[in-house]
Amino acid sequence: MYNRVSQKLMAKMGFREGEGLGKFGQGRKEIVETSTQRGRRGLGLTLKGFQGDLNVDWQDEPEPSALESVTWFPESSPEIPDADELKDWMTMGQKKLKIDDETEFCSENLLHLLLRCKTVFDNLEGEEMRRARTRSNPYETIRGAFFLNRAAMKMANMDHVFDYMFTNPKDFQGKPQTRDKDGELLYFGDVCAGPGGFSEYVLWRRHWHAKGFGMTLKGANDFKLEDFYAAPSELFEAYYGMATGTVLVKEGRPRKISERRRMVRMVTDHLQRAPRTSCCRWCRCTSFHSPAYFVQRGHFVCKTFDLFTPFSVGLIYLLYLCFERVSLFKPVTSRPANSERYVVCKSLKPGTDAVREYMFTINLKLNQFRHSDRDVTEVVPLDIIKGDTDFFQFMINSNESITNNAVCLCRTLFEPRQADIRKECLKLWGVSPKTITTSFILLLIRVYHQNARIFFGCRIQMAEKFVKAVSKPSRPDMNPIRVKEVYRLEEMEKIFVRLEMKVTKSSGGMPRLSYTGRDDRHFLPSGLYIIKTVNDPWTMAFSKSSKRKFFYNKQTKESTYALPPGSVAPFHACHQDRLFWAWEEGVRVHDSQTRVNPDKLSKDDVLSFIHQHCQQ
């Protein structure tokens, strides 16, 4: 206990082993102990569980590493039950507020040990807990990096471990399900997820090639879109339904879920996440959302905690039936001493409507029991869960492995590799540890995307994709934006087919020229832009012999069917050289128009010119 120098000094002062200092050996025989005072409590207060010597059976744990492995549930062999079978699965009973007797999915000794260990920290001050947690967890300094909160880094962690199935989902052949160059967006839903760390990560990873929908509680748990540090919040649409938006609190919650399902399912088919499932009710609601919104092959991730009750395990079993693969995963960014874990579901199966309706029925039943001592205790009969031995054993192993990871509070405990682990993890997950400046963020989200060499049709496709990403159909108070409809010159006749004479507001009862767009919405057109999409000296012509268009160089007299290098007109050339055909008074573009000015260009003149030069 003592080093040699201190022993020599003590010997010079007359110290003998087993005796105290002083002329008659009346002094202390033991070393002066360090202070065990905790926080600003009264002197002498002893906290239960922290008294006495620190006698810990330390276990040799593996070295902290950024590399992680995933264990999946065995592939589900049972068929998805139909509605007639599901209606007999629900069991009601007395409402329970304790889990000390829930030993079906975890050993009794381990469960009681876990509960005792958690009780030890109930009277500990928060500052002491935070200091010990920071010292002992090798991954603690990762925190939120440059994101809104730590949830974003948990998503980055899981996204890498699951081969980016959340931000770059692939089919069974390994091909991406979304192709950015084809104008496709990654759609995702964020349920019960304020302030929005998960969404911020997905939008950061996907740049502007994603569209998010979210639902959460208003108030303290609302989305904080204005605090998104690394991603554009304009690509995210928070949905609160038709009422006040207190989701999952008022009586209208089933209606609100149905409203959001109708709104989101029209466009969303890739990913759903629900990170705030801190009790059986949240877990039930977010699990209900998983099969509710998707078409086939969508993914789902949900944060949960202890899974000891038949109710919570039953929800996992329903997800196990609905998805191709399911995993219970605890990322390294989740603190080891807590019960947090994530259920990750890959690729929604077809034919899950019966399960969705069953979960909706559970939702209604729990609403009825909200103010009573009754509750839904099982959503899947226990004998069915135990009968699926692969699922049952995996559930037990998962619970016990996470429960076994206990951490003891020690004032001197310290993990020296935190800085190295942080750098290693951020590099592996593709998250830059450097300071992110405003200009760098703008570059990442492609605010000034370089599209000078992209053909006009592709630029229009990208603009349409961007409009889909930023549009908010649930916000009638916001003005919608649109991209002008584009037609080839030889297809101009299709434009005139969509023109009608309609009586509109402020028209004084007189019909006005109206255009019906591809979305069946009407507006009053004022003219037509004609844009040259080929750069000088190239032009496009129509070959009467081959009946197809070709590129022609006016300087070299070269002609080719393939797109020549340098022939793509950049944006500034398209903008400067465009022509505007104004549909003003005297221009006849509809058969019912009678006032015609022969000095102005009308529909028949333009169509005659096009037919003359493009005889197909």
Each residue of 359-416: pLDDT tens digit?
Answer: 888 888 888 888 888 989 999 999 999 999 999 999 999 988 887 764 444 444 556 7
Q: pLDDT tens, 99-118?
A: 888 888 888 888 888 887 77
E strand or H helix that includes residue 541 = strand 538-543
Question: Environment class of residue 220 by beta-carbon count within 10 Å: exposed (0-12), middle (13-18) or buried (19+)?
Answer: exposed
Average pLDDT over residues 71-100: 87
What was the pLDDT predicted at 249? 39
What was the pLDDT predicted at 119? 74
Is residue 344 pLDDT above 80, yes or no? yes
Q: What radius of gyration, in Å, describes the C-alpha atoms of the chain?
A: 34
Helix axes of 253-265 and 280-293: crossing angle, nearest 10 degrees: 30
Domain-wise residue ranges, the chain: 83-439, 489-613
What was the pLDDT predicted at 343? 92
Is residue 560 pLDDT above 90, yes or no? yes
Q: pLDDT tens, 405-464?
A: 644 444 445 567 788 888 888 899 988 765 555 555 555 555 555 555 788 888 898 899
What was the pLDDT predicted at 247? 45
φ, ψ of residue 300 in degrees (nearest 5): -150, 135
Q: Tokens at residue 25, please? A: 């050996």
Q: pLDDT tens, 186-236?
A: 888 887 767 788 888 999 998 888 888 887 777 777 788 887 878 888 888
Q: Tokens at residue 204, please? A: 């950061």
Who wins on pLDDT, 319 or 195? Answer: 319
Average pLDDT over residues 147-167: 90
**Sign of the CA dihedral running 83, 388, 73, 278:** positive
pLDDT band at 39 (very low <50, low <70, confident <90, very high): low
What was the pLDDT predicted at 555? 92
Distance CA 275, CA 195 (A): 11
Q: pLDDT tens, 248-261?
A: 434 444 554 555 55
What was the pLDDT predicted at 382? 92
Residue 390 · residue 105 · CB < 8 Å: no
**Looking at the domain that runs over 83-439, which CATH code has it been given?**
3.40.50.12760
Q: Tokens at residue 268, please? A: 């969303």
Q: What's the predicted TM-score (pTM) here?
A: 0.79
Residue 614's alpha-carbon distances to 71, 542, 589, in angstroms, are 62, 6, 21
Is residue 289 pLDDT above 60, yes or no? no
Who wins on pLDDT, 268 or 462? Answer: 462
